[in-house]
Amino acid sequence: MKHVAVFCAASESIDNVYAASAYEVGNMLGRIGAALVYGGARFGLMEATAKGVKDAGGRVIGVVPEILVERNRVSALLDEHVPCRNLSDRKDIMLQRSDILVALPGGIGTLDEIFHVMAASTIGYHAKRVVFYNVNGFWNGLLSELRRMESQGFIRCDMNGCMAVADTIEELEKYIQETA
């Protein structure tokens, strides 16, 4: 069984198009037999993704920092609850427990997770990549900036080795299916 880490927003105050796409991603993961590894919160795109997985009969693994437990913000959809101390632990555990990582639309926390994974890849800690699911062109600005940084020599690795972009659910599924 493939394990797919998903980074995304836990916000409830974003456009519903993003929740619908997160649900679709989760549903696809469940349908293809991949397990979801995510942050375990019961809000926003996190919960929409987990619900999609569960509705397709899939497995949901939540890597849950203590603060979410203390604040009663843990999803009830978890098949496995992996406790961790904080966000730093969560990133490391999600990276260890996954075969590929997917970035759905998100904010500062999602960016932190993406850059943690990409930085570790560039110096050889792992060979996994982040697939940006570019719903409504959400990631266009960031992707353009990364390419600019690469062209000016600030990013010295092969960007295609540590990241990919999927503009459709079919492209995203293809990347996941091709992962060893």
Range of the domain at 32: 3-178
Q: Which two tokens stand for residue 145?
A: 């900036």
The pLDDT tens digits of the residues spanning 118-146 come to 999 988 999 999 999 999 999 999 999 99
**Mean pLDDT to the nearest integer, 36-40:** 98
Give the pTM: 0.96
Number of structural domains in the chain = 1
Is pLDDT above 70 for 180?
A: no
Residue 39 sits in a domain of what CATH number? Answer: 3.40.50.450
Residue from 49, 46, 51 nearest 64 by CA: 46
User: What's the confidence (pLDDT) of residue 159?
Assistant: 86
User: What's the confidence (pLDDT) of residue 156?
Assistant: 80
The pLDDT tens digits of the residues spanning 57-79 come to 999 999 999 999 999 999 999 99
The pLDDT tens digits of the residues spanning 1-33 come to 899 999 999 999 999 999 999 999 999 999 999
Q: Is the dihedral of CA 153, 154, 159, 165 positive or negative?
A: negative
